[in-house]
Amino acid sequence: MNLTQQYADTLPELVSPCLPTPVTQPNWIYFNDALAGQIGLSRDNVSLQALAGNAVFPDSQSVAQAYSGHQFGQFNPNLGDGRAHLLGEVQIGKQIADLALKGSGRTPYSRGGDGRAALGPMLREALISEHLHALGIPSTRSLAVVGTGESVYRQFGPESGAILARIASSHIRVGTFEHCAARGQIDTLKALFEYTCQRHYSDTKDPMDLLRQVSLRQAELIAQWMSVGFIHGVMNTDNMTLSGESIDFGPCAFMDGYNSAQVYSSIDQQGRYAYQNQPGIGQWNLTRLAECLITLYPNGERDERVEQAKSVLAEYEIDYQSTYNERMRQKLGLAELPDAILADWLALLSEQQADWTLAHTMLFEPDDWIELFAKPEQAQAWRESWLALNPDPDLARQHNPWVIARNHLVDHALRMAEDGDVEPFTRLLDHLKTPFDKPESEEWIRPASAGFAATFRTFCGT
């Protein structure tokens, strides 16, 4: 495996050289053999020691990245990698990608934190990131989870420590641009803009063109989240990538019964990042990016560029709705999607709190499908209107997963792993990697009990 240091060498003002903190008893918890093979790694002791922070890969110059961010709408100028280390870039096919560690020890940005991570949240990230990838949704990838042999202390007491090895197209965030703009570092902001274009949008030369490209990718990404009932839970600007990948999965969850106002994150007290708010938050975050990019223009041009940015941000709404409608058209197996059919469908699911995933997956299994609804006569009336449009079962089956990361299954797998039994985690991950295959056992598709669903909450794990 050959590591390069393009980001650190190009943008030294946005990194701080620092090494991971060694751990006492590193051990494999999870290793993604297929992904590792693409970058020339294997499950050997050399890899274990390096991914645990106990050794250094050849050509690695470990750094922590600086960034700022709006967290729940409030700007924090001093964020950065408080418990992560970028080891460098690796080659995957014709593309380069970041190799980074999470939970690997303190950095100059730790702000009093211990720099470590608990096993449960790192395994959650492995489950969710690999599941999103299998669903065809852009996401960072999980290369490995390494146990540290040490304890970390969180709100519920001591927990087993772990380090996640993550692959990302890059870790450039909206918050990275905010970091430069907030400090008036225009030369660094310009260099960041040029590097971002070179790495992700090679045909882009103008800041507003970059905004347009990022806006389109984010509109498509969030529409894909919405189509599978995924709730990110913490859509701060430091968690929005310029590459258009999903990143950071601390309090995320998948919705069971359809509820547009659904919130799972224990820290989202006001519901800012509720399911229904995700498209609007995407636009809000892009507005913060636009504010940074406008500062790259001469003062005399900025009023004109503000109007241009407003037009781009308005196009985001169109792009989002177009992508969402297309995803829903495919999920319903239709050649065309009448507005009334979609509106009535969402109203039906909302009124009866029907399971989002199974309501789509079982459309062509009418006996099982009708049992999902407390008032079957209303569901049947909608179904007759839908059947009149001659839906295509093959199209629907290609876009409706049988298996999603059900919250009760994830919760059980993580609890068992924390007690030393990783078999439930491994079995669940195997099914999450093949979400469109109908499993033999209903345990992988069955919704949670009403009691579990009513009280389930997620936590950041920091």
Active site annotation includes 33: no
Does the pLDDT value for residue 357 go beyond 90?
yes
Give 112's pLDDT tier (boundaries 50, 70, 90). confident
pLDDT tens readout for residues 78-88: 999 999 999 99
| N-term to C-term CA, the chain | 31
- Return the pLDDT at 460: 75
How far is residue 225 from each of residues 97, 220, 246, 261, 371, measured CA to CA in Å? 23, 9, 9, 15, 26
- Return the pLDDT at 80: 96
Q: 80 is written with which tokens?
A: 């950065």
Give 45's pLDDT tier (boundaries 50, 70, 90). confident
Give 459's pLDDT tier (boundaries 50, 70, 90). confident
- Residue 181, amino acid: A
CA nearest to 227, candidates 266, 187, 258, 182:
258
**Range 395-414 average pLDDT:** 97
Q: What percent of the chain has pLDDT over 70?
A: 100
d(C-alpha 269, C-alpha 325), whole Å: 30
Give 461's pLDDT tier (boundaries 50, 70, 90). low
pLDDT tens readout for residues 334-351: 999 999 999 999 999 999
- Single out the catalytic residue among 59, 81, 98, 238: 238
Residue 384 exposed, middle or buried by CB count within 10 Å (0-12, 13-18, 19+): exposed
- Return the pLDDT at 324: 98
**Range 375-397 average pLDDT:** 97
pTM of the predicted model as reported, rounded to 2 decimal places? 0.96
**Range 437-451 average pLDDT:** 94
Q: Is the dihedral of CA 128, 133, 136, 139 positive or negative?
A: positive
Burial 392-411 (b: 16+ CB within 10 A, else e): eeebbbebbbbbbbbbebbb
CB atoms within 10 A of CB 329: 19
- Return the pLDDT at 154: 87
- Return the pLDDT at 436: 98
Q: 92 is written with which tokens?
A: 């995957």
- Return the pLDDT at 14: 98
Instruction: Identify which has the larger pLDDT, 2 or 10.
Output: 10
* CB-CB contact of 245 with 169 (8 Å): yes
- Return the pLDDT at 157: 87
What residues does 75 pair with on adjacent strands?
A: 70
d(C-alpha 426, C-alpha 311), whole Å: 47
pLDDT tens readout for residues 173-231: 999 999 999 999 999 999 999 999 999 999 999 999 999 999 999 999 999 999 999 99
- Return the pLDDT at 2: 87
- Residue 360, amino acid: H
Quote the mean pLDDT of the chain: 96
How far is residue 350 from each of residues 139, 336, 343, 425, measured CA to CA in Å? 28, 23, 11, 31
d(C-alpha 36, C-alpha 167), whole Å: 10
φ, ψ for residue 314, nearest 5 deg: -70, -35
Residue 449 exposed, middle or buried by CB count within 10 Å (0-12, 13-18, 19+): exposed
pLDDT tens readout for residues 272-330: 999 999 999 999 999 999 999 999 999 999 999 999 999 999 999 999 999 999 999 99
**DSSP state string for 161-226:** EEEEEEEES---BHHHHHHHHHTT-HHHHHHHHHHHHHHH-TT--SHHHHHHHHHHHHHHHHHHHH
Q: 258 is written with which tokens?
A: 């359809």
DSSP structure class, residue 446: P
d(C-alpha 456, C-alpha 444), whole Å: 18
Contacts of 15 (CB under 8 A, 6+ apart): 7, 8, 63, 64, 65, 66, 86
